[in-house]
Amino acid sequence: MKKILLSILSIITLLSLSACSKTLSTIPYEVKEGEEVVLIPENFVASQNTYEADELVLKSDLMTDDSKYDYDPLTHVVVTKGKDYLEQGSYDVWVESTDGNAASTSVIVSK
């Protein structure tokens, strides 16, 4: 009987641990040149992601390099400096969770 209870307890513990682990799965954010680029976590996470949007933070030069880009922290829209859109190219973005998980992805702007 004791072995059965220990086995059940082990199974419950394993199930609890697996239910608590979260998955941070990212995808590239693809737009055409001239379309608005909005830097919010929802645009970079895959459907397998198990984090809520308020548990994620984006980090990118698009948000901090004001010599090349204009980023509006209220709307989260980024454009190339002196333009009203983000120019064609691939831009690195990091998605970080509040519990320390991180994954890289990108903004891809094509013609």
What is the average pLDDT across 82-98? 96
Residue 6 has pLDDT above 60, yes or no: no
The residue segments making up the domain with residue 49 are 23-110
Residue 19 has pLDDT above 50, yes or no: no
Residue type, 32: K
Q: Which two tokens stand for residue 67?
A: 């010599």
Q: Tell me, what CATH number does 27's domain have?
A: 2.60.40
Nearest to 63 by CA among 101, 102, 94, 104: 94
Residue 11 has pLDDT above 80, yes or no: no
Give me the residues paired with residue 54 across strands: none
Report the percentage of the chain scoring pLDDT > 70: 82
How many folded domains does the chain comprise? 1
Q: What is the DSSP letter of 60?
A: -
Terminal-to-terminal C-alpha distance of the chain: 68
As a whole number of angstroms, the distance between CA 29 and CA 90 comes to: 10
Q: Does 16 map to a domain?
A: no
Nearest to 83 by CA among 34, 46, 48, 44: 34
Residue 43 has pLDDT above 60, yes or no: yes
Residue type, 29: Y
User: Where residue 18 falls among pLDDT bands split at 50, 70, 90?
Assistant: very low
Q: Could you tell me where the DSSP H helices lie in 40-92?
A: 61-64
